[in-house]
């Protein structure tokens, strides 16, 4: 559950995560990395991270993958960032986050990473829900990252949300805000650094995944409600938002079973 995921040349990398239900005992975070070879349809074990982590966010820029924040096995929120070189199959620490962060969501636009929202702790260990967007700038010449903070740009602090991108803008969906789930759809423009709220999802949803494909956003499963069930819980439904028609619909196609805190990826063959 809640592993990181990255795609490189149609191969899928599954990074970290846990084999236990979060909130039940210790999170049992893993350091493991698995690669799914799309040509041979085989799984291969790769070099492990230095630290076990779960509910972290992932970014891929070129042939480098960044594992950002998350929890460790004793449920401490992490500031550390690890960088995976896909070519050499090796891990190294890079510049840490400005603050510890878990349950954030991230995507890449024009070779810059955007880490949206998440959950942190203040000096007295009280939970803080971030309204910030952190910008990851990667210098491929010096092989080093720098962080920039866009303070309080989100309408409210959120975690357990999902983000996706059309390559130019960041779409931010759902999540939890101060222990109450939300159904908002927000668009962030990295160039103007402005946000705009679009039509909300038809149902509240958190701990889900999202993809952008063919001018549409797909919100896949998660924890929430559906047109057939008005009770909160794991769901197997898929919500679709058309960028052109600016309209949501709940698709007839459903997952075989309900899932949340899962991962998904889009590959082109």
Q: DSSP assignment of 225-264, as one string?
A: EETTEEEEEEEEEEEEEETTTTEEEE-S---SS-B-S---
Residue 126's contacts (CB-CB under 8 Å, 6 or more residues apart) are: none
Please tell me the predicted confidence (pLDDT) of residue 96: 97
Please tell me the predicted confidence (pLDDT) of residue 209: 96
Residue 169's contacts (CB-CB under 8 Å, 6 or more residues apart) are: 109, 187, 188, 189, 190
Q: Which two tokens stand for residue 23?
A: 């909130």
> 3-state DSSP call for residue 5?
strand
**Average pLDDT, stretch 92-117?**
97
Spatial distance between the Cα atoms of 154 and 187, rounded to a whole number of angstroms:
10
Check if the beta carbon of residue 30 is closer than 8 Å to that of residue 18: yes
Helix (H) or strand (E) segment spanning residue 224: strand 216-226
pLDDT at 128 over 90: no
pLDDT at 251 over 90: yes
Tokens 């939890």 found at: 176
DSSP state of 78: P
Q: Lowest-confidence range among 111-115, 179-183, 191-195, 238-242?
A: 179-183
Residue 124's contacts (CB-CB under 8 Å, 6 or more residues apart) are: none
pLDDT at 214 over 70: yes
Starting at the edge strand found earlier in the chain, the sheet holding 105-109 runs: 105-109, 112-116, 133-139, 144-150
> 3-state DSSP call for residue 162?
strand
Instruction: Find, among 164, 137, 8, the residue nearest to 84 by Cα.
Output: 8
pLDDT at 189 over 90: yes
pLDDT at 231 over 90: no
> 3-state DSSP call for residue 15?
strand
Residue 220's contacts (CB-CB under 8 Å, 6 or more residues apart) are: 208, 209, 210, 211, 238, 255, 262, 264
**Average pLDDT, stretch 215-224?**
96
CA distance to 72, 170, 254, per residue, from 259 (Å): 23, 24, 11
Pairing state of beta strands 185-189 and 162-165? unpaired
Residue 268 pLDDT grade (very low, low, confident, very high; cuts 50, 70, 90): confident
Output helix, strand, coil percentages for the chain, rounded to the nearest 5: 0, 50, 50
Spatial distance between the Cα atoms of 169 and 150, rounded to a whole number of angstroms:
15
Residue 50 pLDDT grade (very low, low, confident, very high; cuts 50, 70, 90): very high
To 5 degrees, how large is the angle CA 83–CA 92–CA 160? 40
């Amino acid at each position: 559950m809640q592993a990181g995921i990255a795609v490189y040349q149609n191969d899928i990398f599954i990074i970290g995560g846990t084999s236990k239900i979060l909130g039940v005992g210790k999170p049992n975070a893993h350091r493991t990395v698995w690669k799914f070879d799309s040509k041979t349809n085989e799984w291969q074990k790769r070099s492990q991270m230095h630290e076990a982590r779960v509910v972290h966010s992932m970014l891929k820029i070129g042939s480098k993958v960044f594992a950002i924040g998350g929890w460790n096995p004793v449920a401490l929120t992490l500031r550390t960032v690890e960088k995976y070189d896909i070519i050499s199959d090796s891990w190294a620490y890079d510049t840490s986050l400005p603050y510890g962060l878990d349950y954030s969501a991230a995507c890449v636009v024009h070779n810059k990473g955007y880490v949206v929202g998440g959950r942190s702790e203040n000096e007295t260990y009280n939970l803080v829900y971030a309204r910030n967007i952190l910008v990851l700038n990667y210098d491929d010449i010096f092989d080093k990252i720098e962080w920039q903070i866009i303070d309080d740009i989100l309408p409210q602090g959120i975690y357990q949300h999902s983000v996706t991108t059309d390559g130019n803008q960041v779409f931010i969906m759902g999540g939890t805000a101060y222990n109450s789930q939300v159904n908002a759809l927000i668009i962030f423009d990295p160039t103007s650094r402005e946000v705009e709220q679009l039509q909300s999802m038809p149902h509240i949803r958190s701990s889900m995944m999202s993809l952008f494909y063919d001018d549409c956003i797909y919100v896949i499963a998660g924890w929430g409600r559906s047109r057939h069930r008005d009770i909160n819980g794991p769901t197997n439904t898929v919500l679709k938002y058309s960028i052109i028609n600016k309209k949501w619909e709940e698709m007839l196609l459903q997952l075989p079973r309900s899932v949340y805190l899962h991962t998904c990826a889009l590959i082109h063959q």
